[in-house]
A = this chain, B = another copy of it.
Amino acid sequence: MEKNRLEAFSDGVLAIIITIMVLELKVPPPEAGTPHTASLSDLKELLPVFYSYVLSFIYVGIYWNNHHNMFHATQRVTGGILWANLHLLFWLSLFPFTTAWAGNTHLATTPVAVYGFVLLMAAIAYYILQRAIIAQQGTGSLLAAAIGRDWKGKISPASYLAAVPLAFVSTWIAIGLYVLVAFMWLVPDRRIECALAGQEKS
């Protein structure tokens, strides 16, 4: 099976997820009969929605980036990899929902916890997909060599797992953890880039 269409389909879904989240960002229209006015204070009301949009945009960007690197180190796609990929896309597709809920409730406790839960499930789905590819590649797997001990891939779900209950103590701890993990990933995954570069050289 070719990986091109899987990549194209995933790119399409990720492009739509990252873009439709912005549909939640809307100033309520003026009521019928009132003059059409608007002020910066209307924007202030939207700030929590904007912040959660920014965070989710970065997260989808990170997933797209890592997905790109992972499949660059993948040659063959099996039925199992295909479904593991759809499973990942499923959890990512819930980002617009959790982003909107957290934003609209001005970062209330439950939505912030649920936001972390979906992050956790996406991280687990990513891990499963990675395992499926490595299993298909067998010993001497290019991807396995590339990710090495994969400490980022282990810290992330652990952080989300901690953040979900901590949200009920303080939403700011949970949000702080989400932001921290995002920053950790913003550094592009040089491990795979390096492994690939090394292979191309040899």
- Contacts of A72 on B, CB cut-off 8 Å? 1-2
Docked CA distance A37–B111 (Å): 9
A105 lies within 8 A of chain B by Cβ: yes
Docked CA distance A187–B82 (Å): 11
Known: A23-B96, A79-B193, A188-B83. A105 touches B36 (CB 8 A): yes
- Contacts of A15 on B, CB cut-off 8 Å? 9, 12-13, 15-16
Docked CA distance A15–B30 (Å): 29
Copies in the complex: 4
Give the secondary structure class of A's interface: helix
A42 lies within 8 A of chain B by Cβ: yes
**Contact partner, A83, options B7, B36, B186, Cβ 8 Å:** B186
Docked CA distance A54–B90 (Å): 8
Stretch at the interface among A57-65, A141-149, A150-158, A172-180: A57-65
- Measuring CB to CB, which residues of chain A are less than 8 angstroms from any residue of chain B? 1-2, 5, 7-9, 11-20, 22-23, 25-27, 29-30, 36-40, 42-43, 54, 57, 61, 64-65, 68-69, 72, 79-80, 82-83, 86, 89-90, 93-94, 96-97, 100-101, 104-106, 108-111, 114, 186-188, 190, 193
Instruction: Kindly list 8 other residue pairs between chains A and B, CB separation below 8 angstroms, not including A36-B108, A38-B101, A38-B109.
Output: A1-B68, A19-B20, A25-B97, A27-B105, A38-B105, A65-B79, A80-B188, A82-B188
Q: Which 10 A-B pairs have the closest CB atoms?
A: A79-B188, A12-B15, A16-B19, A38-B108, A38-B105, A36-B106, A61-B86, A25-B97, A13-B15, A36-B105
